[in-house]
Structure 1
Amino acid sequence: MRMIRLRGTPSERGQAYGAQARDEIDEAVRVYRRWFASFARMSWDEVRAAALPHQKWLEESSPRHAGEIAGIAAGSERDVTEIVALNFRTEIAYRAVGGAALSECTVLGADATATIGGHVYVAQNWDWLTELLPVTVLLDVEFEGGRFVTVTEPGMLAKFGVNAAGVGLCVNLLGSDTHGLGGSFHTLAREVLESGSAVEAAWAVTGSRRAGSGNYLIGAASGELVDLEFNPVGYELHFPGNGTLAHTNHFLGQDPGVRDRLRFLPGLSPGTYFRQDRAQRLLAAEAEPGVDVAGLQRILRDHYGAPEGICRHDRPAGGGREVLGQTNVSVIIDLTAAELHYTLGCPCERDYERMVLPWA
């Protein structure tokens, strides 16, 4: 996984990002042109037009991020609407999509009460389009007042990662029948990674307008662990039971204020419910002796319910009615030790690499 270091003003960071990742961004645009056409039945011109209201909202409400996105566009020699479309791809596609859906990531967390040595962990399998695995990047970003690293798709501001204040973020998709204007799944992730504490990170989402739905697992080296479900009209916080948290691709809150996509899209697989139960049970079992990196690796390699297991391989389910992502990256963030353990591709097929975070 290629590391890209970014420094300076938002515009300078964006231009450096765009220039260094130009080939990867070109490939991401090619992948998403195909994906929007097949998944959302949208031409790329229609996608760019749909990005315009989000671009205007960013320029008015989040000028730092708008400036960085404009810099990425300039550095990569792409139109700015294309970079906006990458950063708002979830919101644009789900507003347009009909009866299809994607089933994606599993996130796991454990706080000091459930772990060996009192560590705090957040972890996930990022399940998404196989074609994006070769161009996935690791950004090392110094911003005004801090520093973070994030694993993300080229051209995007952030996805999952950790910052020098010890705040870690893992993410997974939720879908609902409600859409709006506001921060996207990926721009809100950037807000979390620029936060100085778990409370500030949650506030960055709960206190903002939100264009779509999602789930963030937020942890901190200081001990906090919280799972935050959000959508354009509301949010709900979930705290650890017996020191652990797991989340898949449906709302756990009793009244999220929206209809979960599984409640209104016909014919979707109930696999997310199986995965949720499996992840919770495996975490509880690991917590008996104490969760550690090896235990989280065992969970992230689990195939129960295949092809809709925690560890995902590139094959369709449900007679092609639902698209499943392959596990492109598996990551465990040890917030206490300031370490990141990861695999590129399915974790059942390779060893985890260990990276000491640059500020440790």
Structure 2
Amino acid sequence: MTFPTFTSTQIDPRARGKELGTHRSKAIRANLSGYSDLFTVAGATATQVRAWGEAALERTAEWAPHLAEEIAGIAGGAGLEPWQVAVVNARTEILAAIDATGEGECSTSVVLPGAGEAPRTVQTWDWHDHLRDAPMLWELEPRPGHVVRTFTEAGALAKIGVNTGGLGIHFNILRHDSDTADLGVPVHLIARRILDEATTVAEAADIARSATVSASTVITAVTSSDAASIEISPAGVAVIPPEPDGVLQHCNHFLDPALAKDERHSTDRPSTYVRFQHLRANIEGLSSDDHTKRALAMLSHGPDDAPVCAHPDQTMPINQRWETVATIALDLVGARLRVHQGGPCQVTEATWQTF
């Protein structure tokens, strides 16, 4: 099984958005419907969701007008209002505004093996199982000669990805006491601007610092010779470098000592610490130059072991069901993604999708 793909032909942001919205209309509308259900179960009203979507669109227009134009184009192509597509892009911010909690989410590992060798990266992407059909792979050219390839959700401008400038990013959600219902720039749009504009880790961090946010996340930026986990929260941005051995790993809790003082996942999602310990214990496998071996090194199931590979409990409501929807490795040399649909327990040499 593979994720759907789409390659944009348009350079102009609004035209590019309209092209995507037209071709992926059904999936975008289904993704919006799935999030509407999630927000309702988590306690939000339709009036609140619209207000948050409108606020997210306004913040985006102030920070990156061209991305607001692209969102408007997607909406036009999909037969939606721009605020509705903004809701999909701001789902992290809306869930933080609702103060939604639950056990689950992503684990990321990066190893820089040394000069002349490509970074070894892999992550699991966990999300609510009723949204398992939302992901897609999207190739676009934000400016002539600069290609971005991203694993994202239908209607969202980016998530995990690579660019032909030699930079890639992984993506994990965080929660912090400073998270607020006063909607800021969506973190998914920070990821998109990094992919569009950055070719170094320092440039990626500068882009993150330029945004006023209302929700927390960590974007791990990687180049052939450098890496850093850029922890983003309303309380500030921290840059976490690799350990001296070149290992950089992240789950769903802050590693920066100052930001960690107001960490939310220590109580909301304590398994993040167990998953992090699992990554630390499996550095040898995660250092392999074979992406299948790296994925298998992530393999661990709860409740007896770290729940890196998640499977939903169908007795729970949709906002409390978590599934490892994808396992993803970055190929920075080829500016490609290696994507497996599902968790590490299903990975084989033949199940990878190269994009």
Scaled by the length of structure 2, the TM-score of the pair is: 0.89
Q: Could you tell me how far apart the structure 1 residues matched to 2:226 and 2:72 are?
A: 35
Cα pair distance change 1:35/1:321, threshold 3 Å: closer
Q: Could you tell me how far apart the structure 1 residues matched to 2:214 and 2:274 are?
A: 28
Size of the aligned set, in residue pairs, is 346
Residue type at the aligned position of 1:169 = I
1:329-340 superposed matches below 5 A: 329-340=326-337
Q: Could you tell me how far apart the structure 2 residues matched to 1:248 and 1:344 are?
A: 20
The answer as to whether partners of 1:133 and 1:344 remain within 8 angstroms in 2 is no
Residue 224 of structure 1 corresponds to 226
The answer as to whether partners of 1:138 and 1:152 remain within 8 angstroms in 2 is yes
- 1:54 maps to which of 53, 56, 60: 56
Deviation at 1:70?
Answer: 0.4
Residue 341 of structure 1 corresponds to 338
Structure 1 counterpart SS, 2:108:
strand
The answer as to whether partners of 1:271 and 1:305 remain within 8 angstroms in 2 is no
Please say if 1:45 is aligned against 2:47.
yes
1:192-211 superposed matches below 5 A: 192-194=194-196, 195-211=198-214
Structure 2 counterpart SS, 1:314:
coil
Residue 310 of structure 1 corresponds to 308
Q: Could you tell me how far apart the structure 2 residues matched to 1:208 and 1:71 are?
A: 22
1:1-360 superposed matches below 5 A: 1-6=3-8, 7-39=10-42, 41-97=43-99, 100-113=101-114, 118-145=117-144, 146-178=146-178, 179=180, 180-194=182-196, 195-221=198-224, 223-241=225-243, 242-256=245-259, 259-262=262-265, 268-284=268-284, 286-287=286-287, 292-303=290-301, 305=303, 309-315=307-313, 323-352=320-349, 353-354=351-352
Q: Could you tell me how far apart the structure 1 residues matched to 2:79 and 2:187 are?
A: 24
Q: Could you tell me how far apart the structure 2 residues matched to 1:131 and 1:181 are?
A: 25
Residue type at the aligned position of 2:54 = L
The answer as to whether partners of 1:121 and 1:335 remain within 8 angstroms in 2 is no
Identity of aligned residues (%): 26
Q: Could you tell me how far apart the structure 1 residues matched to 2:317 and 2:34 are?
A: 19
Scaled by the length of structure 1, the TM-score of the pair is: 0.88
- For structure 1, which runs of at least 5 residues remain unmatched after alignment? none
Q: Could you tell me how far apart the structure 1 residues matched to 2:93 and 2:133 are?
A: 24
Q: Could you tell me how far apart the structure 2 residues matched to 1:206 and 1:327 are?
A: 30
Residue type at the aligned position of 1:112 = P
Deviations 1:108-159 (A, max 9, x none): 1011339xx7111332110002222223111101112411110111110001
The answer as to whether partners of 1:108 and 1:245 remain within 8 angstroms in 2 is yes
Deviation at 1:300?
Answer: 2.8
Structure 2 counterpart SS, 1:112:
coil
The answer as to whether partners of 1:72 and 1:83 remain within 8 angstroms in 2 is yes
Structure 1 counterpart SS, 2:132:
helix
The answer as to whether partners of 1:181 and 1:209 remain within 8 angstroms in 2 is no
Q: Could you tell me how far apart the structure 2 residues matched to 1:182 and 1:244 are?
A: 32
Deviation at 1:335?
Answer: 1.5
Deviation at 1:59?
Answer: 1.8
Cα pair distance change 1:4/1:286, threshold 3 Å: closer
Q: Could you tell me how far apart the structure 1 residues matched to 2:318 and 2:28 are?
A: 29
Structure 1 counterpart SS, 2:84:
helix
Q: Could you tell me how far apart the structure 2 residues matched to 1:84 and 1:308 are?
A: 34
Q: Could you tell me how far apart the structure 2 residues matched to 1:84 and 1:321 are?
A: 22
Cα pair distance change 1:285/1:17, threshold 3 Å: closer
Deviations 1:243-299 (A, max 9, x none): 111111111111118721135x5xx35211110111112115654xx5542431222
- For structure 2, which runs of at least 5 residues remain unmatched after alignment? none
Residue type at the aligned position of 2:325 = N
User: Aligned Cα RMSD in Å?
Assistant: 2.5
Residue type at the aligned position of 1:347 = P
Q: Could you tell me how far apart the structure 2 residues matched to 1:174 and 1:140 are?
A: 27
Structure 1 counterpart SS, 2:254:
coil
